[in-house]
Structure 1
Amino acid sequence: MRRPSLNDLAAFAAVANHRSFRRAADVMGVSRSALSHAIIGLEGKLGVRLFNRTTRSLSLTQAGATLLARLDPVLQDLDRALDTLSEERGTPSGTLRINANKSGARILLANVVPRFLDLYPDVELDLVSEGRLVDIVEQGFDAGVRLLEAVPQDMVAVKFGGDVRFLAVAAPSYLEGIVPPTTPDDLQAYRCIRQRLPSGKRYRWEFAKRGAEIAVDVPGNLTLDDNDLLVQAAADGRGIAYVPEPFAEPLLKTGQLVTILDDWCPPMPGLALYFPRSRHVASPLRAFIDLLKRWDGAR
């Protein structure tokens, strides 16, 4: 058996952990075909098949699972050793990949990212903003940003930005001549702008007051999947929208939108940056977390 190179083993671990040649190739910055050839070469050197491949799925063989179980701790130890060298040099380096929802990305870009890039020019920050909740380990991210209540239980969460409110908002022109709703159930008699979640389901508006909670499947003939679009449609008089406060705040200040059902919209736990509990926290992520905590503590 010919001894494989470290690059070959790292390629195997990437494909095995992501269960996808495409995702592993994206994370490693190589072409899918190059990665496929590397795995074929590794299997040839080892004399065993590491993956079961079909046109629709990819899974580890028993030999592949055994190799991954032994290899992952070794590669993590190597990451720690290289990270130690980076610390001794005095500044973090490498790539930091963060997956965030749109609200989180906005806050980070406005308050943390500029300072981080100024302090750590040797770090390449890859900030991906999308609505759907992804498996950050499977997708090759170092950390994620979501509402605290959506963070998986096996992750370490660093809360920031304070509590958030979802607000029911509408344009004065839409409410002109009609009596605004006073309870969530009243929304059944109004035109609402519905929201499509990344999962494909329509969002049921969730309200709370003095311990009572209610979720309403509101009526409406317009459904959108983006908070900015919801706010704009509400400002255009298309009906009532239910959005995070930061998205509506600019138009609330100008009077283009007003709030309704305020007493049914209490604060809720806000955003958190999260990362795997069992994984080594590399110096770029540690530096980002430290900066995030300092900014949040100074607010």
Structure 2
Amino acid sequence: MYRSGLTELEVVLAVAKRRGFRAAATDLNMSTTAVSNAVAGLEARLGTRLFHRTTRSVSLTEAGQRFIEQIEPAVADIQQAMQNLHEDPARPTGTLRINSSLGAALMVFQPILLKFLNRYPGMTVDIVTEGKMVDIIAEGFDAGLRQGTRVPRDMIRVPITPNIQRVVVGSTDYFSTHPEPDAPEDLADHACIRARLPGGESSPWAFIRDEQTFTLDVLGPLVLDAPQLMVEAVRQGVGLAQVPQWYVQEDLEEGRLIQVLAPFTPDAPGLSLYYAGHRHIPPGLRSLIDLIHEQAGHFSF
């Protein structure tokens, strides 16, 4: 028999998320009839229809949308509180969902995330990488991972790394046919590999002169949205790129790539983990934060 109370609200949330009774029933391990009856019963008590129903689709009414927005955070907090009663804070379990840029995830993967998984084998880390910023609360993430300057102001920020060294690099093959630039303005005579910003436009390169930072719109044959691809293009002699030194440290040490314009290249902001301050912090996220604090000062990018 169907249980009323919190489960009833969980059913409504599942139907809204899956936009269908059958899919929600599968997620909840309930029959479709039980799910339908739960929604109908709640609508009857509220005196308001929450869903538009047709033979082909299920969608929220305006009142249903408002209801979902109000109850979703509260239900999540209650579910977490119930789970916490059965969890050992020293041995967290469950799934930690993190939204990150690809570059940020790569930088912290070995020194933070792998260490976290080794220390807490009951945890699963689910990372979604994308260039654009998202609302981590609305998208169901526990935390985000970005450069500190990109963290929304209403979030709590946990610094992970100091500022990240940027470099302008080219391959030995490229410089065998092109002179090394002596100043940023010389890049007008070079092929530059640019990064694509989340909005679609190419990113300008950052420089510093007389303690004043400025940007320069460079030109070149490639615009890419993954730093690994940019580095590979540089290795193949396509042109120059401005990237975090972390990506090319081994190439520089072994002489495959050459750094130029070092006096003009400023550091990039360091990475930070961030999360919503008004919500309960699950044990897994708390343990990750503690690990980040433990590793403070051990990073050099």
Alignment TM-score, normalising by the size of structure 2: 0.82
Match among 36, 40, 46 for residue 42 of structure 2: 46
Secondary structure of 1:76 counterpart = helix
1:246, distance to aligned residue in structure 2 (A): 0.9
Quick one: distance in 1 between partners of 2:180 and 2:57?
A: 52
- Residue correspondence of structure 1 range 8-157 to structure 2 within 5 A: 8-13=8-13, 21=18, 41-47=37-43, 48-51=48-51, 61-62=62-63, 64-66=65-67, 68-69=69-70, 72-73=73-74, 75-87=76-88, 90-157=90-157
**Structure 1 stretch displaced more, 57-66 or 255-264:** 57-66
Secondary structure of 1:72 counterpart = helix
Say if 2:192 and 2:241, in contact at 8 Å, map to a contact too. yes
Quick one: distance in 2 between partners of 1:72 and 1:123?
A: 22
Say if 2:101 and 2:145, in contact at 8 Å, map to a contact too. yes
Indicate how the Cα distance of structure 1 residues 38 and 158 shifts in structure 2: closer, same or farther if over 3 A, else same. farther
Q: Which amino acid aligns with 2:40?
A: G
1:134, distance to aligned residue in structure 2 (A): 2.3
Secondary structure of 2:124 counterpart = strand
* Residue of structure 2 equivalent to 1:159: 159
> How big is the alpha-carbon RMSD for the aligned residues of Structure 1 and Structure 2?
3.4
Say if 1:11 and 1:38, in contact at 8 Å, map to a contact too. no
1:40, distance to aligned residue in structure 2 (A): 5.2
Say if 2:103 and 2:227, in contact at 8 Å, map to a contact too. no
1:284, distance to aligned residue in structure 2 (A): 0.5
Q: Which amino acid aligns with 2:12?
A: F
Say if 1:169 and 1:259, in contact at 8 Å, map to a contact too. yes
1:64, distance to aligned residue in structure 2 (A): 4.5
1:189, distance to aligned residue in structure 2 (A): 1.8
Q: Percent identity, aligned pairs only?
A: 32
Say if 2:161 and 2:296, in contact at 8 Å, map to a contact too. yes
Indicate how the Cα distance of structure 1 residues 75 and 170 shifts in structure 2: closer, same or farther if over 3 A, else same. closer
1:243 equivalent to 2:243? Answer yes
1:247, distance to aligned residue in structure 2 (A): 1.0
Indicate how the Cα distance of structure 1 residues 70 and 161 shifts in structure 2: closer, same or farther if over 3 A, else same. closer
**Structure 1 stretch displaced more, 46-55 or 146-155:** 46-55
* Residue of structure 1 equivalent to 2:216: 216
Q: Which amino acid aligns with 2:294?
A: R
1:275, distance to aligned residue in structure 2 (A): 0.7
**Structure 1 stretch displaced more, 121-130 or 44-53:** 44-53
Q: Deviations over 1:198-250 (max 9, x none)?
A: 33221111222333222222111222221111111111111111111111212
* Residue of structure 1 equivalent to 2:168: 168
Say if 1:207 and 1:213, in contact at 8 Å, map to a contact too. yes
The answer for unaligned runs of 5 or more in structure 1 is: none
Quick one: distance in 2 between partners of 1:35 and 1:184?
A: 66
* Residue of structure 2 equivalent to 1:265: 265
Q: Deviations over 1:175-204 (max 9, x none)?
A: 235432233232122111122233322111
Q: Which amino acid aligns with 1:21?
A: R
Indicate how the Cα distance of structure 1 residues 29 and 255 shifts in structure 2: closer, same or farther if over 3 A, else same. farther
Quick one: distance in 2 between partners of 1:243 and 1:108?
A: 16
Secondary structure of 1:86 counterpart = coil
Secondary structure of 2:95 counterpart = strand
1:94, distance to aligned residue in structure 2 (A): 1.4
- Residue correspondence of structure 1 range 221-232 to structure 2 within 5 A: 221-232=221-232
Secondary structure of 1:133 counterpart = coil
Quick one: distance in 1 between partners of 2:199 and 2:217?
A: 16
1:148, distance to aligned residue in structure 2 (A): 0.6
Q: Which amino acid aligns with 1:175?
A: F
Say if 1:13 and 1:68, in contact at 8 Å, map to a contact too. no
**Structure 1 stretch displaced more, 253-262 or 74-83:** 74-83
Say if 1:184 and 1:214, in contact at 8 Å, map to a contact too. no
Secondary structure of 2:110 counterpart = helix
